[in-house]
């Protein structure tokens, strides 16, 4: 079945690709096995030179790469440029930092004095081919943040990208090929979801990492567990954005808007649930609603567009159903809640949805527990700190969180009690190469980025050297 690249702003099919058949998949796996046997013996200096070359090429190609992303999944062009630049930064960071992150660990001699060794240390060794099952929402960044550490650790990469971004997937393989990586070190597998299980089960695949939906994560994790293979999962998120009375309200509102509509609202770490102390609830809701209503929705290629289309028609349908369910159960629609009128006729077939603010949310509404993957915000009123913490944790997800307070005691309470992989105070959740990224509960397990991320796919090896012969 062909894999199609469709422009979500117009509904136009840009290009189609034939999915790999069994013979082509076998060839890719064979190349990966052969490449790993050689690439694993390279040193950090050799790997870093290749990764730096990839960074230089990506930096030079930033505009073309950004346009490819925008055409395939609809993010505003300015955001796509920023994504490409972030990828360059991550490539260079891992090229420079990997030697220190994976340096041999030497225990204190007194701690191993009774181990009977003349020397002992820990070495981080590569494990083989790592399969990455990646999403469409940050189609370059999600891949680079896996590939840069994996390649610097001496592993080789197999990419099964989301089926709606095949042009981006091909461009990623081309980037690493042009950078000079040996054949087979980074390969894109243009395959459907049904073929993923077979790749995971293949003996030549050592581990798998997935960023995506909870159902996809369950399927991948089950297969990996059945094969006793390492898996790292970064799944959904319904991040809380808590606003307490001491917050700088103007800054909180401005950040709340960016945090909700980044990437057209299609981000696992986008703030989705706005939990506001009753002392500042009314002014926050008024200002937030006005700012969301004022956002410009339109052609993602236009420089002044702030919110583009949803990446798929099904994604918009899912969002509409959540909003309509909330409306039917009594939620207040402060703004939005519909397909935007008055768009350019050329965009009539695009999958656009207005920035939307919902209030009066109750547990009867699906939106209370389900993730809104689009520009829809839910706003809650809470009476005090205890209720704010309780509401923040009232979610099956635990990816990250945002808290606006200048009270040190409140900050420590949130650090202690919020169930999430990150707590960001007086700012917006963001991923950074130097900081670990991942979640708890149904947001997955394992970590990407930082030293924690590069070690996920290493063989943590104890080296013990006996006493010299007498």
- Tens of pLDDT, residue by residue over 281-307, are 999 999 999 999 999 999 999 999 999
Task: Map residue 89 onto helix, strand or coil.
Answer: helix
Position 470 scores a pLDDT of: 67
pLDDT per position as a tens digit, 79-138 = 999 999 999 999 999 999 999 999 999 988 888 888 888 889 999 999 999 999 999 999
State both tokens at 164.
Answer: 């709606």
Mean pLDDT, residues 151-166 taken together: 98
pLDDT per position as a tens digit, 2-37 = 899 999 999 999 999 999 999 999 999 999 999 999
Q: Cα separation of 95 and 102, whole Å?
A: 12
Q: Cα separation of 163 and 25, whole Å?
A: 16
Average pLDDT, the chain: 97
The residue annotated as part of the active site, out of 71, 72, 173, 234, is 234
Which uninterrupted H or E stretch holds 172? helix 166-178
State both tokens at 345.
Answer: 């006729």
pLDDT at 326 over 90: yes
Position 54 scores a pLDDT of: 99
Greatest distance between any 2 Cα atoms in the chain: 88
pLDDT at 243 over 90: yes
Residue 387 annotated among the catalytic residues of the structure:
no
pLDDT per position as a tens digit, 38-62 = 999 999 999 999 999 999 999 999 9
The residue annotated as part of the active site, out of 268, 320, 335, 354, is 268
pLDDT at 442 over 90: yes
Position 142 scores a pLDDT of: 98
Q: Among all chains, which residue has been given the structure tokens 């970064």?
A: 234
In whole angstroms, what separates CA 188 from the centre of its chain? 18
DSSP at 312: -
Beta-carbon contacts of residue 330 (< 8 Å; ≥ 6 apart): 360, 362
Position 160 scores a pLDDT of: 98
Our CA dihedral for 351, 18, 235, 217, rounded to 10 degrees, sits at 130
Percentage of the chain with pLDDT > 70?
100
Position 115 scores a pLDDT of: 83
pLDDT at 411 over 90: yes
Q: Cα separation of 85 and 351, whole Å?
A: 27
Position 112 scores a pLDDT of: 83
Beta-carbon contacts of residue 447 (< 8 Å; ≥ 6 apart): 232, 421, 436, 437, 438, 453, 456
pLDDT per position as a tens digit, 336-387 = 999 999 999 999 999 999 999 999 999 999 999 999 999 999 999 999 999 9
Position 261 scores a pLDDT of: 98
Q: Cα separation of 88 and 52, whole Å?
A: 9
Q: What is the pTM of this model?
A: 0.96
pLDDT at 206 over 80: yes
Task: Please enumerate, as own/partner, the contacts of 221-227 that have beta carbons within 8 Å and a separation of 24 or more.
Answer: 223/196, 223/197, 224/200, 226/201, 227/200, 227/201
Quick one: which of 13, 3, 445 has its CA closest to 193?
3
Q: Among all chains, which residue has been given the structure tokens 């989301």?
A: 162
Residue 234 annotated among the catalytic residues of the structure:
yes
Q: Cα separation of 4 and 291, whole Å?
A: 36
């Amino acid at each position: 079945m062909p894999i199609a690249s469709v422009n979500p702003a117009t509904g136009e099919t840009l290009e189609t690709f034939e999915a790999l058949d069994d013979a082509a998949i076998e060839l890719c796996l064979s190349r990966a096995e052969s490449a790993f046997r050689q690439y694993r013996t390279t040193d950090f200096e050799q790997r870093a030179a290749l990764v730096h070359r990839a960074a230089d090429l990506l930096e030079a190609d930033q505009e073309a790469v950004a346009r490819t992303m925008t055409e395939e999944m609809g993010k505003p062009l300015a955001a796509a440029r920023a994504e490409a630049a972030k990828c360059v930064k991550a490539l260079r960071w891992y090229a420079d930092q990997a030697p220190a992150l994976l340096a041999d660990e030497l225990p204190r001699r007194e701690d191993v004095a009774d181990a009977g060794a003349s020397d002992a240390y820990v070495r981080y060794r590569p494990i083989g081919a790592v399969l990455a099952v990646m999403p469409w929402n940050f189609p370059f960044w999600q891949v680079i943040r896996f590939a840069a550490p994996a390649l610097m650790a001496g592993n080789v990469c197999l990419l099964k990208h989301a089926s709606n971004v095949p042009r981006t997937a091909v461009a990623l393989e081309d980037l690493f090929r042009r950078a000079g990586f040996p054949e087979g070190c980074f390969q894109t597998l243009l395959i459907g979801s049904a073929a993923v299980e077979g790749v995971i089960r293949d003996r030549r695949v050592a581990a798998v990492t997935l960023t995506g939906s909870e159902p996809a994560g369950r399927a991948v994790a089950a297969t990996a567990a059945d094969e006793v293979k390492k898996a790292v999962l970064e799944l959904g998120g319904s991040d809380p954005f808590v606003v307490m009375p001491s917050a700088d309200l103007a800054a909180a509102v401005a950040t709340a808007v960016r945090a909700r509509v980044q990437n057209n609202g299609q981000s696992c770490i986008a703030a989705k649930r706005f939990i506001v102390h009753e002392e500042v609830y009314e002014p926050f809701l008024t200002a937030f609603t006005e700012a969301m209503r004022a956002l410009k929705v339109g052609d993602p290629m236009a420089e002044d567009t702030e919110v583009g289309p949803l990446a798929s028609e099904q994604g918009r349908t899912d969002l509409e159903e959540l909003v309509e369910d909330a409306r039917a159960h009594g939620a207040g629609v402060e703004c939005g809640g519909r397909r935007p009128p008055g768009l350019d006729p050329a965009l009539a077939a695009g999958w656009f949805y207005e920035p939307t603010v919902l209030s009066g949310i109750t547990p009867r509404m699906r939106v209370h527990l389900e993730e809104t993957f689009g520009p829809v915000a839910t706003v809650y009123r809470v009476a005090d700190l205890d209720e704010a913490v309780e509401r923040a944790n009232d979610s099956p997800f635990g990816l990250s969180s945002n808290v606006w307070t200048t009270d040190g005691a409140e900050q420590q309470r949130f650090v202690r009690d919020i169930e999430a992989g990150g707590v960001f105070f007086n700012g917006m959740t963001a991923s950074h190469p130097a900081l670990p990224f991942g979640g708890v509960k149904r947001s997955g397990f394992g970590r990407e980025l930082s030293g924690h991320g590069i070690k996920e796919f290493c063989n943590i090896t104890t080296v013990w050297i006996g006493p010299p012969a007498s």
